Amino acid sequence: MSLHNDIIEFFGRYPDKLSMGLYTQEHDEIFFVACLSDKEKGTPFEVGVFELGQSMIDFLYDPDYERIVGALLESDSHVKQILEAPNDVARWVPLYLLLQAAQSQFFYFYLVQEIVTAYKSKMCRPDGTPYPIDYFCEIGRSYQRLRERVKDIVGVCFEETSKNGASATERYIENFPLDTLLYRDVSGEPVPARPYKEGEPMSYKMAEVLHPRMPEDIGNFLFFQYLKENILFKRCENCQKYFVATGRSNVKYCDRMVDETGKTCRQIAPAMTFREKRKDSPAEKVFNRAYKTLHSRMSAGKLSKELFKEWSKEARQKRDECAAGKITLEDFERWLVDGD
């Protein structure tokens, strides 16, 4: 059966043991995926660099979240089947399809790839103990708990409230006094000191690198870093979603694309508020009154369409000049009444 060949090929392409790592450096959070057991041992083959705070926001709004977590929560019956005969490739089909459904480029979801490792090792861990039946379910539940925790902590600790000027850490202690930020496994490792540039020798420095066991490890590790650095999240005044605003406390809008044209909230929102504001300006009110009068005159046949068009074009110009302070409101009104 070709699906079986697909499965063997799919799992075969992966290195025997993948490891996801995460560390922070100044104002960045850096994710990487590396092989632990090949010739290229330790060489990262995927690296993602985010501004400190960004990955947590991306996780909160990730469109793949429901699909991936849903797939993981369904996995226990499949795992049960496999554990009865791990060498029977046919039994792997449902879990393979589930893994296909749970593919994501987002680093938080890399732990789903543990399924590949499980397959490679015939459902046994390096110490010989089999994976528990609900192991992948538990990864799914950990994603769920992490998502709830992000929602809780982000609003309470990192959102700018500016009322009492309390730091993120002070708010954390006050609101979550019993919570400890546990995470494992962390090891001290050399990491690139700066981004690789061709022709320049690589330079390294030491960092504490997290190799998460569960999704919540990622969350707790990052919460700790965010609290330490007093990260600031704000709600975008246009789309209402959180964005990272550390060091930019006067920014009101996010950089998310809002439509197919590729425009972002930051690009479109100021123009929208300008139109909103203009609605209430005295120049706009006077203009609207005159416009209605002349429009009904045109509808009644007392004014030609051409003249009305010409008038409204000129009136709009005068209105904008008035709003910009180039002519006074009195001048504008006089022009509307007398035409000069």
Contacts with Zn ion, residue ranges (CB under 5 A): 236, 238-239, 254, 256, 265
In whole angstroms, how close is the CB of 59 to Zn ion at the nearest point?
17
In whole angstroms, how close is the CB of 258 to Zn ion at the nearest point?
7
- For Zn ion, give the closer residue by CB, 145 or 252: 252
Q: Calculate the CA 23 to chain-centre distance.
A: 18
Neighbours of 199 (CB within 10 A): 4
What distance in Å separates the CA atoms of residue 308 and residue 295, rounded to the nearest whole number? 7
- For Zn ion, give the closer residue by CB, 262 or 301: 262
- Which residues fall within 8 angstroms of residue 62, CB to CB, at 6 or more apart? 104, 106, 108, 109
- For Zn ion, give the closer residue by CB, 265 or 315: 265
In whole angstroms, how close is the CB of 56 to Zn ion at the nearest point?
17
In whole angstroms, how close is the CB of 243 to Zn ion at the nearest point?
7
- For Zn ion, give the closer residue by CB, 61 or 204: 61
- Which residues fall within 8 angstroms of residue 77, CB to CB, at 6 or more apart? none
- For Zn ion, give the closer residue by CB, 69 or 269: 269
In whole angstroms, how close is the CB of 269 to Zn ion at the nearest point?
7
- For Zn ion, give the closer residue by CB, 96 or 253: 253
Q: Specify which residues 244 forms β-bridges with.
A: 233
Instruction: Give the Å distances, CA to CA, from 66 to 59, 80, 106, 260, 315.
Output: 11, 23, 14, 24, 53
- Contact by Cβ (8 Å): 113, 46: no
What distance in Å separates the CA atoms of residue 272 and residue 267, rounded to the nearest whole number? 10
- Contact by Cβ (8 Å): 315, 307: no
- Which residues fall within 8 angstroms of residue 181, CB to CB, at 6 or more apart? 220, 221, 223, 224
Both tokens of 203, joined, read: 């330079």
In whole angstroms, how close is the CB of 160 to Zn ion at the nearest point?
15
In whole angstroms, how close is the CB of 274 to Zn ion at the nearest point?
17
- For Zn ion, give the closer residue by CB, 109 or 242: 242
- Which residues fall within 8 angstroms of residue 119, CB to CB, at 6 or more apart? 11, 92, 95
Write the single-letter amino acid at 206. Answer: M
